[in-house]
Amino acid sequence: MDSCLKGKSNSYDYSFKILLIGDSGVGKSSLLLSFISDTVQDLSPTIGVDFKLKQITVGGKRMKLTIWDTAGQERFGILTSSYYRGTHGIILVYDVTRRETFTNLSDIWAKEIELYSTNHECVKVLVGNKVDRDSERAVTREEGMALAQKYKCSFLECSAKTRENVQQCFKDLIHKMLEVPSLLEKGSSVVKKQSLKDKQVYKAPHGSGGCCS
């Protein structure tokens, strides 16, 4: 469900920013599409940065998720610091059939998180995608689990094509974000700021043009 939520900031309790990172072609866009809609399709690589909105209720709390899908290509590195800023959750994605996408998580992506993330308690989930192509596997499940343990994050293998574990990887991330007090505070403050902006925009027309009626 891709939602337009402008002007409805009072309809949710928290606003969270989630970032999908990893090499180009690992299936980040397909994972995102599988999560927010009922369709899955082959997608061309994302150019620069795209984002989708989804409203979800977990444990009685209503949340607006802004999920950023990054290019995964070094030539767009100029965008790096801005899309990490204020992130509450990060999903690191690799392709289980392409070993370099796995090694790059340590060589490139984990270092970027350390360098650019402004929420030091942001929650991370490691995801091995494309398990539907198990006969072509180049990274074992055990290796994925070991890397997740190294970076103190959750781990799941999934398939955007068959939808296996796709919903679960986002749900795991959301549940863990709800367990971190500092993230809850930041997530609720975003809602309050947006609510204040909405009120100011709503009041503005009533304070102008009255003498011309």
Say which range, 10-19, 36-45, 178-187, 198-207, has the weakest mean pLDDT. Answer: 198-207
Q: All domains of the chain, ordered by start, with CATH?
A: 9-184 (3.40.50.300)
- Summarize pLDDT for 141-181 with one digit per residue, the tens: 999 999 999 999 999 999 999 999 999 999 999 999 999 99
Please state at what angle helix 166-177 crosses helix 181-203, rounded to 10 degrees.
Answer: 90
Alpha-carbon distance of 207 to 209, in angstroms, equals 7
Alpha-carbon distance of 155 to 79, in angstroms, equals 27
Quick check: helix, strand or coil at residue 159? Answer: strand
Measured in degrees and rounded to the nearest 5, phi and psi for residue 39 equal: -120, 150
Alpha-carbon distance of 113 to 20, in angstroms, equals 12
Quick check: helix, strand or coil at residue 172? Answer: helix
List the beta bridge partners of residue 128. Answer: 94, 157
- Summarize pLDDT for 69-126 with one digit per residue, the tens: 876 544 455 556 777 888 999 999 999 999 999 999 999 899 989 888 888 899 999 9
Q: Which amino acid is at 37?
A: S
Alpha-carbon distance of 112 to 81, in angstroms, equals 9
pTM above 0.85, yes or no: no
